């Protein structure tokens, strides 16, 4: 909490300073190019600071920002956040981009470099102008007086550098000569999960210790395992329905992992019930029912599992019940 | 049948079943030999095969001191000091024994059949291990499971002459000996554990798994208050002898005293000594004094050891964890820091399909077996629980480590399965009698096995008065522990029939997977023609044979490192880089030569005395594992060392795509790899060529070459060999000379 109040305070102060500065400069002579530039960067900076470091652009604002001469570099994110575009990577990268931009707002000298973001909804003209047909992408525009290559050839390569803020910050720093540091806010949920995990581990050890261990830890391991790869949870299919099962043998989604984990849990559970629960039932009729239910569940879930496997590997020849 | 005759029958049946299991295990690994021929597969086995040949031909000492000048030209490689010699020595030994008895078996056949033979032994050791955990019927099931489980077959088919082939046997057998040692507390079994541990160290880098799992087991037992003299004797024997022996392998050397991977074993060794000492002291002082002593002792020892370990790590005496080890904990590590590790597909994380594919129904019987281990929880069951937890984690992180998971899955699935069978096959009158007895005497509730185990269990110190009486009132109050027979014959029947059916399915699945996915030699490819007949694509051997017959004996052939071992083994020529990948800079240099233009690459080739370049090109038959697809890794690795001369970004079009057709970037089109791959490719189809791997329509005008000339292209263009031209006689540069000749 202290973190955000401090940011707020900083923002307000900076905005105030920027406002005062810009108003005092209006009185001065405007013919001076340096002053124009100074004014421009100051107002942009104020705009950026207000919005945690990112200047939201549309086609008009883009041209304004890009207008020559300019003495600052600019990293512009071309994105499509709206749900109608179904751009999962855009949604993934957005917070990371903002993280880097907020790292920028901690810099002592903010005049070298600015961050802008342009959504397809309001910036179609610019997308067309640059021949962009995929999002997200980030272009780096150096100052107008520098001898530089076409910004199109210097785009941030997601497949190589990845989606993390850290690598993006490195990319920006290498180009703009800035020293932006990424400070991730503490993720309370993740922290809680970790703390809980430690407690669960201690609890498990305690359970083993007291021999009351009925937890089969490996069952839970499955769900943990899938998280290693950090996969997308689900993905929108072509027809707009969410897809649960990733096509292809080596891919899997978060939800798919959970489905499979539940299947495994049920299968293991029915085996355990056949071994551990059924022989403890005194009533023969009840016992018979328990056996049939467990075994039925076992066979049914096994068939479901095989079916799911066949989605992934269509040439698999075996089936159980269906 | 009387019990006596039953046991006689069982005595005959068990060995018979075990032998049959071994035969099945061996037989199911022979698909590739029947379909193709008795050849060594893949990549690494070719190196092992070549060194084994050297060992058989020149004897052990020569092998030990072998400096191989034919690889890593011009650096060479000290083979004796950089291999795990276990597999080579094993097959040389078998070969020599056979020859001593005048069986003239070729060393190639020994090598090809080594892994299947050892899989029979693995099944046997799984039997032994499981017998220690439950009983011999579970043991037989475990042997059968492990004999045919695809997770293990994947690394041990005939021809797959690799370390893992014998290492899994050693892993399981060492664990069996360890459990036996802990159970009996005999120094003999501790010693045997150490000896087989030594064999394992000599055979596979995965010995680190044992080095960490056994101490972890000992440590957990101590934490659970189960320290005993048995544990002390077995662990101390194992650690002292095992560590000394393992240091005799040159490749391991002083690692056991210096690297962090081995520190846990040392730490537990020290801990056990302290603990034993404390136990000794306890016998001589009053409990109150002892408590104070203990507190002070533990605190000071812990602080001192942490400080020492930190200091040693910081000063660099104890090496930090190696890169491959890091990538086990942080899956992102390899991707960022070491492209060569990330580029190997078997170091990738595992998808759930692989688990199902490799283990089928075992994968969900496995947790049930672990659950049963929790219920028993004797010392050996703790071991299986630890083994399963860690192996599951590692298998999830790296596909390759599925191999270490498979044995424990088979063992604990067999425990679950045989418990199921026990429950539903138990003779009803026998059970009825016992349950009646139970009902008559409610204080002695649990069935004979459970009560027997609980009384045998060492009682945790200090807990005796609270814990012991607790279970009994609980069980008699709720009737929880009371077990009844299965009353109805139909419920017995449905369970038994279904289980049997699942076994059938498991066997089919395993055979299907083995035959379909794990029996390809990968140096010979098979495909189906449209009429269903088989087409064998034997381009690799064709090209290697060409090299063998048509080049000077000391010809240097450059290729990407994947093919280094095969070229050395089959073509017997000098290679620049191979699958050993010990020198990243050298590999990057090769990558640079491939990724740069002819003008840049030519001096580099000349400086490395390269005579020929060999590339794999799959566009004609659609072989997707070719060099153009691996090209990105070459560029990445080269960029890591030569960031100014090779830039990955230049190989992507402005839209960020990796293209080989009209849209390919200039850098791409000028790169040596691109030129070699598509040289005269368009001419094959009269200018209308389509790359079948990347689905790209190629320009009708192909690239031209001036510093290389085509020397050989195999039948399906899969392998292409280029000869590096000598400098021009008249001192022109080669580009002008080629232009003039045209």
Nearest to B364 by CA among A305, A179, A122, A103: A305
Q: Which residue of B has its CA nearest to A300?
A: B498
Rounded to a whole number of angstroms, the distance from the CA of B487 to the nearest CA of chain A is 6
Three-state DSSP at B625 gives: coil
Is B92 buried (19+), middle (13-18) or exposed (0-12) by CB count in 10 A?
buried
Average of per-residue pLDDT across A81-96: 77
Would you call B505 and A318 a contact, using CB atoms and an 8 Å cutoff? yes
Collect all residues of chain B within an 8 Å Cβ-Cβ radius of residue A151: none
ipTM: 0.77
Rounded to a whole number of angstroms, the distance from the CA of B502 to the nearest CA of chain A is 9
Nearest to B511 by CA among A317, A216, A138: A317
Q: Does the pLDDT at position A215 exceed 50?
A: no
Would you call A272 and B368 a contact, using CB atoms and an 8 Å cutoff? yes
B428's CB contacts (< 8 A; 6+ apart) are B485, B486, B487
Nearest to A152 among B460, B498, B654 (CB): B654
Rounded to a whole number of angstroms, the distance from the CA of A166 to the nearest CA of chain B is 12
Residue to substitute from B327, B364, B446, interface A, most A β-carbons within 10 A: B364
Average of per-residue pLDDT across A180-189: 72
Average of per-residue pLDDT across A170-174: 80
Instruction: Say how far apart CA A172 and CA A161 lie, in whole Å.
Output: 12
Instruction: Say how far apart CA B116 and CA B493 lie, in whole Å.
Output: 37
Q: Is A140 on the interface with B (CB under 8 A)?
A: no
CA A191: distance to chain centroid?
A: 17
B642 Ramachandran zone, left/alpha/beta (phi>0; psi -120 to 50): beta
CA distances from A80 to A64, A86, A160, B241, B399 (A): 21, 8, 21, 65, 36
Q: Is B599 on the interface with A (CB under 8 A)?
A: no
Each residue's pLDDT tens digit, B136-158:
899 999 999 999 999 899 888 88
CA distances from B259 to A126, B201, B244, B312, B637 (A): 57, 15, 15, 10, 27
Top pLDDT among B454 and B314 is at: B314
The reported pLDDT for the residue numbered B199 is: 94
Q: Is B649 on the interface with A (CB under 8 A)?
A: yes
Q: Does the pLDDT at position B98 exceed 70?
A: yes
Calculate the average pLDDT of chain B. Answer: 82
Nearest to A287 among B354, B397, B486 (CB): B486
Average of per-residue pLDDT across A124-153: 72
Q: Is A203 on the interface with B (CB under 8 A)?
A: no
Nearest to A264 by CA among B392, B485, B207, B501: B392
Would you call A250 and B419 a contact, using CB atoms and an 8 Å cutoff? no
Please name every residue paired with A138 in a beta bridge, in sequence order, or none if there are none.
A77
The reported pLDDT for the residue numbered A308 is: 85
Q: Which residue of B has its CA nearest to A283?
A: B487
Q: Is A314 on the interface with B (CB under 8 A)?
A: no
Each residue's pLDDT tens digit, B624-671:
888 888 888 888 888 888 888 888 888 887 777 788 888 888 888 888
Each residue's pLDDT tens digit, B216-240:
999 988 888 888 899 999 999 999 9
Collect all residues of chain B within an 8 Å Cβ-Cβ radius of residue A312: 353
Q: What's the full length of chain B, in residues?
A: 742
Q: Which residue of B has its CA nearest to A263?
A: B364
Instruction: Say how far apart CA B325 and CA B291 lie, in whole Å.
Output: 40
CA distances from B555 to A84, A129, B190 (A): 61, 55, 52
pLDDT tier, A241 (very low <50, low <70, confident <90, very high otherwise): very low
Rounded to a whole number of angstroms, the distance from the CA of A296 to the nearest CA of chain B is 9
Average of per-residue pLDDT across B292-302: 83
Would you call A279 and B367 a contact, using CB atoms and an 8 Å cutoff? no
Q: Does the pLDDT at position B184 exceed 80?
A: yes
Q: Does the pLDDT at position B452 exceed 60?
A: no
- β-pairing verdict for A113-119 and A54-57: parallel
Top pLDDT among A130 and A243 is at: A130
Nearest to B508 by CA among A317, A315, A177: A317
What H or E segment, with its residue span, contains residue B715? none
Nearest to B524 by CA among B107, B159, B88: B159
Most confident listed range (A167-181, B3-17, B187-201, B343-357): B187-201
Would you call A157 and B505 a contact, using CB atoms and an 8 Å cutoff? no
C-beta neighbour count of B314 within 10 angstroms: 10
Q: Does the pLDDT at position B267 exceed 80?
A: yes
Please name every residue paired with B723 in a beta bridge, in sequence order, or none if there are none.
B612, B709
Top pLDDT among A56 and B444 is at: A56
Contacts across the A-B interface (CB distance below 8 Å): 161
Q: Chain B window 338-367: which residues touch A at a Cβ cutoff of 8 Å?
A: 348-354, 356-357, 361, 363-367
Most confident listed range (A50-59, B385-394, B525-534): B385-394
Range of weakest confidence among A42-56, B148-162, B237-251: A42-56
The reported pLDDT for the residue numbered B508 is: 92
Residue to substitute from A216, A267, A316, interface B, most B β-carbons within 10 A: A216
* Contact predicate A216/B413, CB 8 Å: no
The reported pLDDT for the residue numbered B322 is: 56
Nearest to B351 among A214, A252, A276 (CB): A252
Q: Is A68 on the interface with B (CB under 8 A)?
A: no
Instruction: Say how far apart CA B301 and CA B295 lie, in whole Å.
Output: 10
pLDDT tier, B97 (very low <50, low <70, confident <90, very high otherwise): very high
Rounded to a whole number of angstroms, the distance from the CA of A319 to the nearest CA of chain B is 9
Average of per-residue pLDDT across A213-228: 42
CA B137: distance to chain centroid?
A: 28
Would you call B487 and A284 a contact, using CB atoms and an 8 Å cutoff? yes
CA distances from B497 to A77, B421, B424, B485, B494 (A): 62, 11, 11, 18, 5
The reported pLDDT for the residue numbered B236 is: 94
Top pLDDT among B348 and B118 is at: B118
Q: Is B377 on the interface with A (CB under 8 A)?
A: yes
Would you call B374 and A133 a contact, using CB atoms and an 8 Å cutoff? no
Would you call A251 and B351 a contact, using CB atoms and an 8 Å cutoff? yes
Nearest to B654 among A153, A217, A287 (CB): A153
Written as one string, the DSSP assignment of B515-560 is HHHS---SSSEEEE-TTS-EEEE-HHHHHHHHHHHHS-TT-EEE--
* Contact predicate B443/B430, CB 8 Å: no
Q: Does the pLDDT at position B599 exceed 70?
A: yes
Would you call A249 and B351 a contact, using CB atoms and an 8 Å cutoff? yes
Average of per-residue pLDDT across A213-229: 42
A22's CB contacts (< 8 A; 6+ apart) are A39, A42, A43, A46
Would you call B371 and A214 a contact, using CB atoms and an 8 Å cutoff? yes
B258's CB contacts (< 8 A; 6+ apart) are B317, B318, B319
Name the DSSP letter for residue B600.
Answer: H
Average of per-residue pLDDT across A80-97: 78
Rounded to a whole number of angstroms, the distance from the CA of A240 to the nearest CA of chain B is 25
* Contact predicate B151/B197, CB 8 Å: no
What H or E segment, with its residue span, contains residue B678? helix B672-678
Is B402 buried (19+), middle (13-18) or exposed (0-12) by CB count in 10 A?
buried
Residue to substitute from A200, A211, A252, A303, interface B, most B β-carbons within 10 A: A211
Strands lying side by side in the sheet with A137-141: A54-57, A113-119, A73-79, A137-141
Rounded to a whole number of angstroms, the distance from the CA of A9 to the nearest CA of chain B is 36
* Contact predicate B438/B444, CB 8 Å: yes
Residue to substitute from A287, A291, A306, interface B, most B β-carbons within 10 A: A291
Top pLDDT among B174 and B457 is at: B174
CA distances from A53 to A98, A104, A120, A173, B479 (A): 7, 7, 20, 15, 67
Instruction: Say how far apart CA B124 and CA B22 lie, in whole Å.
Output: 8
Range of weakest confidence among A73-77, B465-469, B711-715: B465-469
Would you call B352 and A288 a contact, using CB atoms and an 8 Å cutoff? no
Q: Chain B window 190-249: which residues touch A at a Cβ cutoff of 8 Å?
A: 223-224
Q: Chain A window 242-271: which residues touch B at a Cβ cutoff of 8 Å?
A: 249-252, 256-257, 260, 264, 267-268, 271
Collect all residues of chain A within an 8 Å Cβ-Cβ radius of residue B388: 218
Share of chain A above pLDDT 70, in %: 67
Would you call B495 and A284 a contact, using CB atoms and an 8 Å cutoff? no
Instruction: Say how far apart CA B412 and CA A219 lie, in whole Å.
Output: 14
* Contact predicate B702/B677, CB 8 Å: no
The reported pLDDT for the residue numbered B658 is: 81
Average of per-residue pLDDT across A257-272: 86
pLDDT tier, B460 (very low <50, low <70, confident <90, very high otherwise): very low
Would you call B498 and A298 a contact, using CB atoms and an 8 Å cutoff? yes
Share of chain B above pLDDT 70, in %: 87
Rounded to a whole number of angstroms, the distance from the CA of B251 to the nearest CA of chain A is 32
Would you call A275 and B374 a contact, using CB atoms and an 8 Å cutoff? no
Average of per-residue pLDDT across B722-733: 83
Collect all residues of chain A within an 8 Å Cβ-Cβ radius of residue B411: none
Q: Does the pLDDT at position A303 exceed 60?
A: yes
Q: Chain A window 73-132: which residues touch B at a Cβ cutoff of 8 Å?
A: none
Would you call A268 and B364 a contact, using CB atoms and an 8 Å cutoff? yes
Q: Does the pLDDT at position B711 exceed 80?
A: yes
């Amino acid at each position: 909490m202290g973190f955000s109040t401090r940011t707020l305070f900083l923002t307000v102060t900076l905005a105030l300073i920027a406002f005062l500065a810009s108003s005092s400069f209006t009185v001065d002579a405007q013919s001076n190019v340096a002053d124009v530039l100074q004014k421009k960067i100051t107002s942009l900076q104020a705009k950026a600071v207000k919005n945690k470091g990112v200047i939201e652009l549309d086609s008009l604002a883009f041209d304004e920002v890009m207008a020559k001469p300019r003495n600052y570099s600019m990293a512009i994110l071309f994105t499509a956040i709206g749900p109608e575009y179904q751009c999962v990577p855009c949604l993934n990268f957005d917070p990371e981009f903002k993280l880097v931009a907020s790292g920028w707002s901690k810099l002592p000298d903010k005049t070298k470099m600015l961050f802008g973001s342009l959504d397809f909804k309001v910036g179609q003209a610019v997308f067309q102008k640059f021949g962009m047909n995929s999002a997200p992408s980030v272009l780096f525009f150096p100052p107008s007086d520098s001898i530089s290559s076409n910004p199109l050839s210097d785009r941030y390569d997601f497949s190589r550098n990845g989606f993390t803020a850290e690598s993006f910050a490195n990319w920006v720093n290498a180009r703009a000569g800035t020293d932006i540091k990424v400070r991730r806010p503490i993720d309370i949920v993740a922290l809680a999960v970790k703390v809980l995990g430690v407690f669960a581990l201690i609890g498990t050890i305690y359970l083993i210790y007291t021999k009351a261990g009925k937890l089969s830890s490996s069952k839970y391991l499955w769900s943990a395992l899938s998280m290693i790869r950090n996969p997308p949870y689900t993905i929108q299919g072509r027809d707009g329905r969410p897809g649960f099962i990733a096509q292809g043998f080596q891919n899997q989604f978060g939800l798919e992992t959970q489905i499979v984990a539940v299947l495994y849990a049920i299968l293991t559970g029915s085996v355990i019930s056949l071994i551990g629960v059924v022989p403890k039932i005194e009533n023969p009729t009840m016992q018979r029912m328990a056996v049939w239910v467990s075994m039925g569940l076992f066979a049914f879930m096994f068939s479901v599992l095989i079916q799911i496997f066949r989605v992934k590997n269509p040439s698999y020849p075996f089936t159980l019940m269906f | 049948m009387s019990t006596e005759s039953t046991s006689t029958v069982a005595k005959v049946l068990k060995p018979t079943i075990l032998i049959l299991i071994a035969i099945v295990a061996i037989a199911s690994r022979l698909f590739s030999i029947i379909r193709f021929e008795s050849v060594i597969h893949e990549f690494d086995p070719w190196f092992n095969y070549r060194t084994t040949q050297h060992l058989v031909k020149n004897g052990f000492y020569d092998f030990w001191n072998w400096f191989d000048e034919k690889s890593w030209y011009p650096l060479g490689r000290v083979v004796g000091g950089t291999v795990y010699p276990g597999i080579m020595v094993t097959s040389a030994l078998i070969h020599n024994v056979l020859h001593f008895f005048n069986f003239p078996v070729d060393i190639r056949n020994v090598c090809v059949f080594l892994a299947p033979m050892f899989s029979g032994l693995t099944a046997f050791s799984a039997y032994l291990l499981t017998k220690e955990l439950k009983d011999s019927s579970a043991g037989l099931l475990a042997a059968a499971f492990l004999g045919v489980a695809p997770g293990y077959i994947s690394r041990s088919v005939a021809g797959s002459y690799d370390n893992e082939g014998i290492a899994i046997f050693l892993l399981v057998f060492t664990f069996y000996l360890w459990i036996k040692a802990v159970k009996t507390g005999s120094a003999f079994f501790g010693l045997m554990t150490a000896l087989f541990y030594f064999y394992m160290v000599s055979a596979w880098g995965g010995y680190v798994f044992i080095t960490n799992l056994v101490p972890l087991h000992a440590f957990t037992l101590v934490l659970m208050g189960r320290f005993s003299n048995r544990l002390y004797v077995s662990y101390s024997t194992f650690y002292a002898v095992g560590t000394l022996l393992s240091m005799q392998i040159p490749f391991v050397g002083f690692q056991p005293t210096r690297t962090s991977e081995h520190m846990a074993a040392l730490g537990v060794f020290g801990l056990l000594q302290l603990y034993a000492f404390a136990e000794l002291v306890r016998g001589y002082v009053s409990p109150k004094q002892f408590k104070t002593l203990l507190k002070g002792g533990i605190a000071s020892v812990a602080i001192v050891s942490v400080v020492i370990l930190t200091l040693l790590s910081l000063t660099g005496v104890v090496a930090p964890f190696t890169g491959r080890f890091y990538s086990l904990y942080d899956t992102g590590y390899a991707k960022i820091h070491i492209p060569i590790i990330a580029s190997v597909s078997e170091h990738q994380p595992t998808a759930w399909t692989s688990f199902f594919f490799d283990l089928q129904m075992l994968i969900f019987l496995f947790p049930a077996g672990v659950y049963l281990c929790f219920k028993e929880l004797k010392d050996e069951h703790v071991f299986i629980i630890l083994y399963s937890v860690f192996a599951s984690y590692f298998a999830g992180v790296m596909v390759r480590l599925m191999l270490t998971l498979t044995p424990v899955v088979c063992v604990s699935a067999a425990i679950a399965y045989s418990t199921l069978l026990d429950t539903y096959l138990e003779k009803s009158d026998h059970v009825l009698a016992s349950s009646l007895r139970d009902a008559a005497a409610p204080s002695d509730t649990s069935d004979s096995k459970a009560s027997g185990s609980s009384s045998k269990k060492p009682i945790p110190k200090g807990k005796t008065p609270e814990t012991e009486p607790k279970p009994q009132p609980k069980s008699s109050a709720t009737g929880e522990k009371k077990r009844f027979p299965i009353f109805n014959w139909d419920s017995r029947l449905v369970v038994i029939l279904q289980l049997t059916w699942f076994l059938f399915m498991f066997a089919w699945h395993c055979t299907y997977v083995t035959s379909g996915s794990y029996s390809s030699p990968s140096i010979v490819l098979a495909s189906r023609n449209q009429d269903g007949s088989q087409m064998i694509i034997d381009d690799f051997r064709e090209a290697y044979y060409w090299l063998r017959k048509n080049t000077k004996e000391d010809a240097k052939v450059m290729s990407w490192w994947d093919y280094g071992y095969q070229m050395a083994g089959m073509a017997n020529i000098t290679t620049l880089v191979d699958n050993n990948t010990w020198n990243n800079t050298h590999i990057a240099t090769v990558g640079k030569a491939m990724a740069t233009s002819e003008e840049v690459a030519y001096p580099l080739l000349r400086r490395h005395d390269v005579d020929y370049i060999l590339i794999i090109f799959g566009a004609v038959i659609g072989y997707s594992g070719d060099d153009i697809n691996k090209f990105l890794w070459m560029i990445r690795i080269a960029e890591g060392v030569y960031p100014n001369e090779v830039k990955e970004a230049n190989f992507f079009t402005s839209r960020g795509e990796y293209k080989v057709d009209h849209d390919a970037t200039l850098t791409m089109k000028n790169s040596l790899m691109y030129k070699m791959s598509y040289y005269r490719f368009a001419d094959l189809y009269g200018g209308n060529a389509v790359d079948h791997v990347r689905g790209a329509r190629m320009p009708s005008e192909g690239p031209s070459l001036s510093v290389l000339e085509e020397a050989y292209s195999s039948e399906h263009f899969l392998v292409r060999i280029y000869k590096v031209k000598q400098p021009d006689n008249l001192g022109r540069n080669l580009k002008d000379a080629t232009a003039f000749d045209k």
